[in-house]
Amino acid sequence: MKNLNNLIAVATGKKRADIVLKNAQVLNVFTRKFIPSDIAILEEYIAGVGKRGSYSGETEIDCSGSYITPGFIDAHVHIESSMVLPLAFSEAVVRHGTTAVIADPHEIANVLGPDSVRFMCRQSEKALSDIYFMIPSCVPATDFEHTGGCITSQDINTLLQLPKVLGLGEMMNYPGLLGGNPEVLQKIKATQNFEGKRTVLDGHAPLVSGLDLQGYKVCGIQTDHECHTFEEALEKVENGMYVLIRLGSSAKDLYTIVPNLVASGIDTNRFLFCTDDKNIADILDYGHIDANIRSAIELGISPEKAFTMASWQTASCYHLEEQGAICAGYRADLVILSDIQKVSITKVMKNGELIPMEYVSQKPEMDEEDLNTESGDLLFRACHSVKLPPIKPDFFTFGKKDSLLASGEEVEKYQGRYVIQIHENTLNTESLFIPKEKISKKFKAGELCRLAVLERHGNGGAHSLALLSGYGLKQGAIASSIGHDSHNIICAGQSPEDMVLAVETIKKMAGGICIVDNGVVKATLPLPVAGLMSDESGLWVKEKLEKLQKEVAVLGIYEHIEPFVTLSFLALPVIPALRLTDKGLFDVIKWSFL
């Protein structure tokens, strides 16, 4: 609660501030200019911003030669994809200037349902950055896969009462929306009409354009983070949407959007930054939203615009009334930099307190109060979420002799096989049809590998198999319990025997990632919390990931492909063009199984 009398006294120069940051170049996000200023801070708020010498404080910090911007805000992130719990996540990102994130916990929700959203909200209370939440809109994402959790329109009414919930998460089921699915529309209505609360409806609409985009937008969808080209982004901005420019571990749409955005000369005021999915190792090594800003500046966006995109524009979109600007009455969430071109951060302030810049990673503590819910012990459920039947080698073979030709038809009638083709820097895939006479040759050359998905929530044990191109895996197998968004087991491999061992190891670890080669387990990363997150420190997870990366190189996976995030998204049937779920090979464009 603001102490208005004291804030007024400091703002008008009648009382000393707690802290004054002096002699800095301060970003005014309203004019998008750096202005020589002093900043007076009282408790957790900015009391005033004035010309140099305007304020005095109990503590005065000389910022000569420095620049100060508002704290950065990630417009869309799945914390689960960092592979650590919210506290460990925040310890990493806050030192990169991220003082707030808009999180969508639909990964853990697909495993454990509505209780997991409450769990993530409680865990976020200990975080160093502010963590706001969107309610997962599509749990399950589609009816074309088995999942562990379900969130209904009635659940949304309940979850909207949580204080840090801002609205409805990415509406991935755009075919359901455009087709007038009653439950989809009820989720939208429930969010829009909730007790006068200002809410936001996030979108997820890759390649949706023209009249279909009109139908999507008319329902009140306000954002989209799935644009891969500038042309797609421009059409959505022209229709009043915010476009979230993504730079994650795998999807790097920033590199295709920003150069054309600069060349077009249009205003950047409807563009924000997000990471979406970024693992803890990449955050620690390459940065968080600061990496988006740095890359955007390198590609031609001015620093003033880039820092504003990362702060004020995101705060405005999500109605964060006291964040995103350096202005009297706003929270003192600040980033101090020595170089704005290189985004060189020297200090970060959160709620008026300087964050120690040395990264110290702690193992998050789990309180019993956090883990017990009305429906039972969530921790027990989370740590027993991998429920696989006995694994058989024939789960990973195509025919009696595994000729790679059999397809459920007579072999002589078999003409070829549809193959998932992946590409660099995008989650979009391509649907290829490879004639039967070329499949065996490509497989032996390592141009193709097997891809399997196995249901792991105890809903019948369905499994499916396909071929993958563009991954580069030439030997061994990789298995993971991270398989967006239903998070069934996904496994890529050359050898069925290695694939069996990799999946069995995941089962024993209660979730995680495993690499096997020639019958030997080479590296593992246990992720016992819902098969998605570790309960260890960020540095511990980073070390495990680095070991996995070394073993991946031995298997032959292409250097330009991020192996783990890329693999995990091959099971998500809402991103074009071809995906594999536990029910079969799915054509996203035709919205039907092949």
Read off the pLDDT band of 578 (50, 70, 90). very high
Cα separation, 572 vs 580, in Å, equals 7
In 3D space, the residue among 495, 475, 472, 466 whose CA is nearest the CA of residue 570 turns out to be 466
Judge whether 435 and 582 are in contact, CB under 8 Å.
no
Amino acid in position 572 = L
In 3D space, the residue among 364, 350, 359 whose CA is nearest the CA of residue 129 turns out to be 350
Give the pairing of strands 592-593 and 98-103: unpaired
Beta bridge partners of 61: 21
pLDDT of residue 398: 85
Cα separation, 377 vs 463, in Å, equals 29
Cα separation, 483 vs 567, in Å, equals 8
Where b means 16+ CB within 10 Å and e means fewer, 135-160 reads: bbbbbbbbebbbbbbebebebbbebb
Residue 225 C-beta-side C-alpha neighbours within 13 Å: 27
Report whether the peptide linkage leading into residue 577 is cis, meaning its omega lies within 30 degrees of zero. Answer: yes
CB count within 10 Å of CB 186 equals 15
pLDDT more than 70, % of the chain: 94
pLDDT tens across 559-568, in order? 999 899 899 9
Read off the pLDDT band of 382 (50, 70, 90). confident
Residue 361 has pLDDT above 80, yes or no: no
pLDDT of residue 132: 98
Cα separation, 509 vs 534, in Å, equals 11
**Domain residue spans in the chain?**
70-376, 383-593
**Cα dist. 472→424, 478, 514, 525 in Å?**
12, 12, 17, 22
Residue 367 has pLDDT above 70, yes or no: no
In 3D space, the residue among 73, 139, 68 whose CA is nearest the CA of residue 108 turns out to be 139
Residue 461 has pLDDT above 60, yes or no: yes
Cα separation, 314 vs 245, in Å, equals 11
Residue 546 has pLDDT above 50, yes or no: yes
pLDDT of residue 377: 62
Amino acid in position 326 = I
What's the whole-number mean pLDDT along residues 444-448? 90
pLDDT tens across 207-261, in order? 999 999 999 999 999 999 999 999 999 999 999 999 999 999 988 999 999 999 9
pLDDT of residue 401: 61
In 3D space, the residue among 416, 582, 406, 388 whose CA is nearest the CA of residue 504 turns out to be 388
- DSSP per-residue string spanning 219-239: TT--EE----SHHHHHHHHHT
In 3D space, the residue among 153, 120, 117, 157 whose CA is nearest the CA of residue 137 turns out to be 153
What's the whole-number mean pLDDT along residues 124-139? 95
Cα separation, 355 vs 148, in Å, equals 38
pLDDT tens across 259-271, in order? 999 999 999 999 9
Q: 592 in helix, strand or coil?
A: strand
Read off the pLDDT band of 444 (50, 70, 90). confident
Rg (CA), the chain: 25
Cα separation, 258 vs 273, in Å, equals 11
- The counts of H helices and E strands in the chain are 20, 29
Cα separation, 513 vs 491, in Å, equals 10
pLDDT tens across 394-409, in order? 999 987 666 554 444 4
Judge whether 82 and 90 are in contact, CB under 8 Å.
no
- DSSP per-residue string spanning 458-517: SS---EEEEEEESS---SSEEEES--TTTT-EEEEES-HHHHHHHHHHHHHHTSEEEEEE
Residue 39 has pLDDT above 80, yes or no: yes
pLDDT tens across 420-440, in order? 999 987 889 999 999 988 998
Amino acid in position 556 = G
| Both tokens assigned to 310 | 């990362």
Beta bridge partners of 164: none
Q: Which residue has the higher pLDDT, 500 or 378?
A: 500
pLDDT of residue 29: 98
What's the whole-number mean pLDDT along residues 73-96? 96
CA 588 to chain centre: 21
Residue 149 has pLDDT above 60, yes or no: yes
| Both tokens assigned to 499 | 């694939």
In 3D space, the residue among 88, 43, 106, 40 whose CA is nearest the CA of residue 68 turns out to be 40
**Cα dist. 304→31, 49, 62, 142, 324 in Å?**
9, 18, 22, 41, 13
Residue 480 has pLDDT above 80, yes or no: yes
pLDDT tens across 168-186, in order? 999 999 989 999 999 999 9
DSSP summary character for residue 331? B
pTM, rounded to two decimals: 0.91
The correct answer on CATH 3.40.50.10540 for the domain covering 70-376 is no
Residue 412 has pLDDT above 60, yes or no: no
Q: What is the mean pLDDT of the chain?
A: 93
Residues 6+ apart with CB under 8 A from 8: none
DSSP summary character for residue 387? B
What's the whole-number mean pLDDT along residues 542-566? 93
